Amino acid sequence: MLQDWLILFPELALLGFLLAAWLINRYRTVNTPKTFFTLSKYFLLAAILGTVVFYNKSAFPGLWVNTPYSTLFKIVIYLLALAWYYLSSKWFLAKNKSSYQFYNLVMLALLALELLISAASLLLPLVLVPLLCWINWRLLRLYTDPDEIRVMSRLYAFLSWLFILLLAGGIVLIGSRAGTFDCAGVFAYFQNRGALALADYAAVGMILASLLFMLAIAPFHSWYLGMLTYAILPVCGFLTLIPPFAHLSCLINLITNVFGEAGGFMRLVLIIFAAFSLFVGALSANGAANIRRLFGFSSVYHLGFMLFSIVSFNHGGMLSAFAYMMIYLLAMAGVYTVFLGLKSRGDFLANLEDIDGLSNAKPYLAAAFLIFMISLTGTPPLLGFLGRLSVINNLVVDERWVSVGVLLLSILFMANAYLQVIRTIYFEPVKHNFDRTDKAIYICLFINLILVMISIINPTYLLQDAEKILSGVF
Amino acid sequence: MILQLFLNLLLVSALALLIVQTEHRRVWTALLLVLGTLFAWHLTQIFPLHQHETAVFSWISYPHLQASLNLSTTHGLEMMLLPLGLTALALFYLNMVYPHENSRIGVNVLVLLFVAAFILLAGSRDFIQLLVGSCSYTVLGFYLINQPADRQKFVFYNFLAEMALFTALAVVYSKLGTISLDQLGAYQAEGYHKDLVALLILVAVVAKSGLFLFQNQLLDWQELTFNRVMTLSFLTTPLAGMLLFAKLQPLLLISPFAIPLFKVILVMSLLWGFAGALVIDNIKAKALYLNLMFYSFAFAWLEQVPEALENGIFYVMGAVAALNLLLVMVNISSSNEHYISLMGGFGRRIKLTLLLSILGVFVFTGCLCRFYTPQLYHIFIPYLGLTLMALAHIGYNIYFGSEHADERVSALLKNAGFIYGLPLFAGYAAAVWGLKLYACGWVWGLTGAALLFSLSGALRFLNPLADNEPLQEADWMSRIYHSLLLLPLRMLGRILWLAVDFVVIERTVIGSISETTALLVRGLQRIQSALWLNNLLMLLIGLGIIIFAIGYCYA
Amino acid sequence: MHSPFQLLSLIVALPFFGLLFVLTVKDDPKTESRNAFNVCIFTILANILMIWRVFMVLDEQSRHLQLQEHFNWLSTPDINIIIGVDVFALLLILALHLAVLIGLSGVRSNTCKQKSLMVFTLLFLSMATGFFVAADIFSFYLFFEAMLLPVFMIIGMFGEVRKTGLIYRYFLYNFLGAIILFSAVMIIYHFHGALTLEQFARTELRPGVRYYIWGAVFISFLSRIPIWPFHYWISSINSSIRNPLAFIITAAIPLTGIYGFIRFLPAQFPLPVAQYAWWVDIIGAVTMLFIALIGFSNKDTQYKLFAYITVYYIMYLLGVFNASELIRINIGYSLFSFVLIAAALEVLTGYIYHQEELYESGTRGFLCKVKRLSFSYSYLTIAAIGMPLSAVFLNNFLILSRLLASNIKMGMVLIASLTLVGAMLLQELFRLKVDNPDCPVDAKDDISKPMFWFMLFIMFVLLMTFIKPLWFVIDE
């Protein structure tokens, strides 16, 4: 019994934060925006510790199971969360707003995500996905003008409900057909079943649709772009960096431990969605005037890119997708860190034309931005090249030539979008005065760049352990 | 010996360039002249001893090509260098004393370097040294010609010649696999593209020498000072052309049309020179036309007698150079008067110059008679006859005939001075004595006939042509080149730029790609702008894909 | 041959370290540009010394890549980075360094964003050096693409190109070429493993993919060379650039395409592909004539310079296709001098046009009163047209003889093109030298004495290469 409670330490730590934060918010009068970050930091560290210690222990194996695989993903999202929470506190400090709601919501989201990663029963997503949707909805409304976001808020609510219903429908359908909601049981059902029935496909389709919605894969990406347009910067960063990684883990889990190939259905759907994401993301990024939307489309693009690798349904594909995701996250974390440095007269800049001539005013910030963008295009010798190399290599090994061609062509369109940004910050004359950038931003950028440098010089350290863990997946 | 000479020439040139900015330039120049004279005298003592020495230096050593620098002393080279050296010395002296020259040291440095280039070219035994020697003339000529328009033409024509030579030798090398000039004979048996090679060599020689079709570069030198005209005429590219012809004649023989075509060019050159010498009014132009006649003769002689370079041509060249010098003296005497039509009756006032002129014609005739052989009558006789006629007509217009000089010229008219006359007389005396011209009756006869012809003024009916401006100023060949070559090339370039690059590539190919992309981007932007509709559309698409996939897999 | 001191890594990394030093230079408005400039110059000079040292260690006669260094990079896929060098590659590296040095002499008075310019220049130099020492297909590709970014930044920030659309196109077309090469490299790796370049030249490719691989190799390298139809955007960019250093760096890009062919092409073309290779000969020859004609009729000096560079690059390209192994080193010697000549001409042209902007007058007759500039410009022009003042003369003789032997018609088109570009350069020279009483230029507008001495040094180097191409190598 005690052991079970100990195994639940990470979850309890995250829940504990919620309680502690409430208490502090309620009873402590002098709270700064940093207070809740500091609090979250300790609980997060505790969660990390607990996750590492109990990496293969499970308190409720019927609901969720901790494995080295899930631990890997959890550690990554915890670390990302730690970094982003720290940087978000700078935003709240700059705006002099309370960060209580934000940290509350994101820690709750983190809890939901980490449970989702370890889900061993389909019932868990049934509970967690609506929770996550609700959290997203609340995050959208955080410190935004209610009139401005009314439409978006309602739209998101509508879409969320639709996909929650789809998810619920799918889970119930498959549960009834398989006779169980347990992932292993469902997996056995699909393995033993020869030809799938229409209901089986429908169930898989509904579940997959909702997961793709959560991942913001085109054409289900609009809510994500809308969030980026209206939400505050800490929320944008959170939505870009943390949930996709968790949902990716979920998707891999679905493929490997629940549905398998589902008679080729998964592969077909994922391929089409991946191609759609690729081109919608790349082409739309070219027309974006808002840099957050631009990088939002870029995220859609990169997720599509990575999906192409997952579709191999083999060890190589998973490893390359993981590598790509890691590298993408490093670069995007850097990009969002730069966003925190783009301030003029107290406002955080979001339009492309607002950052004209950034290199003249803030050369180091611009340089870091440049490095991250070039990394995102996959240009050597930066880290992004490693990601591109992994994915393309995997496709070549599988001799999927058309996919290779599609991916390589899409890179050109995406590169053009980044070139627009580079042109803006380097080739245009400066038009605004930029506010002084917090040293912490520079420190974070520096650390990020060091990681990038080390990774490109010795990539093995980044991938070796992951390779061992992921090889166990298949 | 040759090696020593070559190195000394380079060393002295380098030293001279160092002193060019210092004071007392005339003193230094005179010192250089003394050194040069001493050295030339030293050579005249050494050469008759025929001390042959080998000086071959390995230069390029690739696995597939070995080139060497050959500065060996041979009998042939000595025989050429002796008269050439004397001519160079005379030009050196002229550059020093000519009153209208502003850069004496610079020009004389170039004289030394031209002699060095001659050694390089004449001593060449392989293609590389030949090409280097030939190109050296172009580079040096670039610095000698100080009028931009003339320089431009000179460089263009010579560049064309170098390219033709370069191409021809590249073709030969590609077949023979050797760059040795001694192996050229083998090309007749083994070679390919023989007509092309012969034509290219022909173009190279003709363009380099300034013969017919390319004579413009030569004739434009009339814009320069007289000393530079003479230096260019007797030390530079025409000489290089002769050497190239001598060395590469085997390559002309491989094609049946090359030599006949060349002969036609030579005839045209002779006639063109003759016509110009008679009709063109400018005294420097007349000198150049006379030189053109000489070169046509020299090439014809060389074509018949390959050893002519070593045995005669340079002596005759010296005599022709002396004729040029006489015209220089007239020019100086008449206070730099350029137009023959504004002279006339000078014989009474500048008697010494007149006497020297007659002596000059005598020596010139004598030189030709000295080297005449009956087999070459078809070359010597036309040239001698036409040149004597031209000289007679020029002499008439200058010394005899009506006086047309203006008052200033008439008032200042006097003999050019001992600094010109004395060395010239000494040269003539040496030639007469050395070649025993006094003993040849033909020389006396022909000189007398020329003098009588001159006195008679038989060709004075051509004098009114001096007032014909189109005839005097027209540059027919340039106009032809411009209309037939340059203009079409420019138009073609313009059309290609506009039609192919701009319309086909920019507007059509690139334009369509970028328009299509922009269309897609705009389309997506439009779709993603209206919130509800956009989301519904995307939703339907997404669900549609899934339904399609279900249907596809189930089917 | 293996080097105990990892010399090659050092010459690749040194410009990068210099870049880091430049970044740390003090941001004082008065001294920043000077300090950044000095650090850059010092870095390049130090690297030139290192290159000189490598020359002395190298075996000139050997045709294999020497001083090889191996680095284990990735385990999945299994990729090692291998670098090595031969005389040919080292000559190009040295030429590039000297060309950049010449370019820097043209921008020394630039004070706007000098630090950024130095940073990207050093980055380009580092990537380009890495490209030339790459000995396996992966590292080759890596540097092939990596050098695009600094070029793009330099053109965009300093090229003074008015139409920014041109810059994008330039980058994207080169990027496309790099992407295509990437696909070929991945396919080669899949079927044949991580080959070194020497192994690739000897490998019989799988029948199913060899057409694609060779096609990709051709397209990717040709996209760097201004050969039809790729010439258009390259010409648009090059003729628009006004900054001499930017022009020089951009003009070095086709060199990478030619070098790519040198390394990738086997001694004999594989039979299935050989039948298509002659298409490149035809297109190359036609492009040469085409560009030469346009350059001849175009009045823009920058375009003339571009035309000259293009014609020569295509000549070298055709030389690579048709020449034997023996001739390749001659191509290297010629390229060395050619790069220096082009760089020096560009700097002087840039200087002339800078003065033109100051006086707001034409450049006709500009060289009349400026003796140092006149001498330098004349010498370089005469050397550029192939006169025996540099290694271009003799080595072009060998290359052209080989080309004439393989195809006389193509050879004659080549000669016609070379003659046209020579005439074009001479035309420009004489236009600058013509007497123009209205020209406001004075002797004080001449190039400075240090600049003149530097140009004299370059002329000396060129002349020495004519006498002996590797004159600076002292045998140990």
- H-run or E-run covering B59: strand B56-62
- The distance of Cα C215 from the centroid of its chain, to the nearest Å, equals 24
A254 in any annotated domain: no
pLDDT of residue A470: 66
CA-closest candidate to residue C306, choices C245, C250, C382, C383: C250
Best interface-test mutation with B: which of A151, A201, A279 has the largest number of B CBs within 10 A? A201
Domain that holds residue A308: 277-474
- Residue whose token pair is 């530097």: C454
**Residue C162 confidence (pLDDT):** 66
Which tokens in the block code for residue A428? 């245009």
Distance from CA of C76 to the nearest CA of A (A): 8
Say how many domains are in chain A: 1
Chain C within 8 Å of A412 (Cβ-Cβ)?
A: yes
Residue keyed to tokens 């550029």: C384
Contact A198 B554 (CB under 8 A): yes
**CA C333 to CA C327: how far, in whole Å?**
10
Judged against a pLDDT cut of 50, whether residue C278 lies above it is answered with: yes
* DSSP per residue, C383-436: HHTT-TTSHHHHHHHHHHHHHHHH-HHHHHHHHHHHHHHHHHHHHHHHHHHS--
Chain C residue nearest residue A382, CA to CA: C146
Q: Do B489 and C398 touch (CB under 8 A)?
A: no
Q: Do A412 and C187 touch (CB under 8 A)?
A: no
Q: Using CA atoms, how far apart are residues B244 and B210, in angstroms rounded to an integer?
A: 13
pTM of the predicted model, to two decimals?
0.89
> Per-residue pLDDT for B408 more than 50?
yes
Residue A472 CB-density burial (10 A; 0-12 exposed, 13-18 middle, 19+ buried): exposed
Whether the predicted pLDDT of C435 surpasses 80: no
| Minimum mean pLDDT range among B459-468, B533-542, C290-299 | B459-468
Helix ranges, B402-530 (H):
407-412, 418-435, 441-456, 469-473, 476-481, 487-495, 511-527
Proportion of chain B above pLDDT 90, given as a percent = 25
- Spatial separation of the C-alpha atoms in residues B85 and B2, rounded to whole Å: 12
**Amino acid type, C167:** I
- How many other CB atoms are found less than 10 A from the CB of residue C163? 11
pLDDT tens digits, residue range B48-83?
666 677 778 888 877 777 888 888 878 888 888 888
Distance from CA of A379 to the nearest CA of C (A): 6
Domain boundaries, chain B: 488-554
Least confidently predicted of B216-220, C208-212, C439-443: C439-443
Q: Residue B478: is its pLDDT beyond 80?
A: no
Q: Is C404 on the interface with B (CB under 8 A)?
A: yes
Contact B538 A219 (CB under 8 A): yes
Task: Give me the amino acid identity at B67.
Answer: A
On whether any CB of chain C is under 8 Å from the CB of A430, the answer is no
| Nearest residue of chain A to residue B555 (CA atoms) | A198
Residue A81 maps to a domain? no
Query: Do B167 and C404 make contact, defined as CB atoms within 8 angstroms?
Result: yes
Helix (H) or strand (E) holding C84: strand C79-85
Bridge partners, residue B504, by sequence: none
User: Residue A206 and residue C445: Cα distance in Å, rounded?
Assistant: 78
**Coil, strand or helix: which one is A395?**
helix
Predicted local distance difference test score (pLDDT) of residue C475: 62
Q: Of the ranges A223-227, A317-321, B489-493, which one carries the lowest mean pLDDT score? A: B489-493
Q: Which of A205, A222, A264 sits opposite B534 (nearest CB)?
A: A222
Residue of C nearest to B193 (CA): C408
Chain A touched by C270 (CB under 8 Å): no
Q: What is the pLDDT of residue C1?
A: 46
Gap from C404 CA to chain B (nearest CA, Å): 6
Alpha helix segments (H runs only) across B47-126? 75-97, 104-122
Q: Is the CB of A159 less than 8 angstroms away from the CB of B549?
A: no
Distance between CA C225 and CA C250 in Å, rounded? 11
> A374 and C148 in contact by Cβ < 8 A?
no
Neighbours of chain B (3+ CB pairs under 8 A): A, C
Strand-pair category, C66-74 with B65-70: unpaired
What are the pLDDT digits (tens) for B293-352? 999 999 999 999 888 888 888 889 999 999 999 999 998 888 888 888 888 888 888 888
pLDDT of A115-157, one tens digit each?
A: 999 888 888 899 999 999 999 999 998 887 777 788 888 889 9
From the list A370, A380, A467, the residue facing C142 with the nearest CB is A380
Mutation to test the C interface, candidates B510, B514, B515, most C Cβ within 10 Å = B510
Tokens of A379: 């240009």
How many C-beta atoms surround the C-beta of residue B318 within 10 A? 21
Contacting chains of C (3 CB pairs or more, <8 Å) are A, B
User: In chain C, what residues touch A385 (CB-CB under 8 Å)?
Assistant: 142
Collect all residues with Cβ–Cβ distance below 8 Å to A226 and sequence separation of at least 6.
A152, A155, A156, B531
- Is A321 within a domain? yes
| B209 contacts B260 by C-beta, under 8 angstroms | no
CA distances from B550 to A183, A196, A198, A208 (A): 22, 10, 7, 12
Structural domain spans, chain C: 267-476
DSSP character at residue A258? I
User: What is the H or E stretch that residue C342 is in?
Assistant: helix C325-359
Asked whether the beta carbons of C122 and C362 are under 8 A apart, the reply is: no
Residue A224 lies in a domain: no
Most A CBs within 10 Å: which of C149, C153, C164, C176, as the mutation test of the A interface?
C149
* CA distance to partner chain C, nearest, from residue B211 (Å): 21
Measure in Å the smallest separation between the Cα of B231 and chain C Cα atoms: 22
Q: How far is the C-alpha of B279 from the C-alpha of B287, rounded, in Å?
A: 12
pLDDT at A129: 93
A454 close to C (CB below 8 A): no
Separation of alpha carbons B416 and B333, rounded Å: 5
Looking at beta carbons, which residues of chain C come within 8 Å of A359?
116
Confidence label for C50 from pLDDT (cuts 50, 70 and 90): very high
| Most B-contacting residue of A283, A294, A297, A307 (CB-CB within 10 A), to test interface | A283
**Chain C neighbors of A408, CB-CB under 8 A:** 179-180, 182-183
- pLDDT tens digits, one per residue of A32-67: 778 889 989 999 999 999 888 888 878 788 888 888
Per-residue model confidence as pLDDT tens digits over A267-307: 889 999 999 999 999 999 988 888 999 999 999 999 999 99
Which DSSP category does B458 fall into? T
Distance CA B533, CA B531 (A): 6
- Cβ-contact C334, C395 below 8 angstroms: yes
Q: Note whether C296 contacts B: Cβ–Cβ < 8 A.
A: yes
Tokens 């002779």 correspond to what residue? B270
Nearest partner of B117 among B140, B139, B133, judged by Cα: B133
Contacts with A284 from chain B: Cβ below 8 Å: 521, 524-525, 528
Higher confidence at residue A22 or residue B415? A22
**Is B253 within 8 Å of B201 (Cβ atoms)?**
no
Is A473 a residue whose pLDDT tops 70? no
Q: How far is CA C371 from CA B224, C100, C434, in A?
A: 21, 25, 14
Would you place residue A469 in the very low, low, confident or very high pLDDT band (cuts 50, 70, 90)?
A: low
Q: Say if B525 is an interface residue toward chain A (CB within 8 Å).
A: yes
Average pLDDT value for residue range B35-44: 73
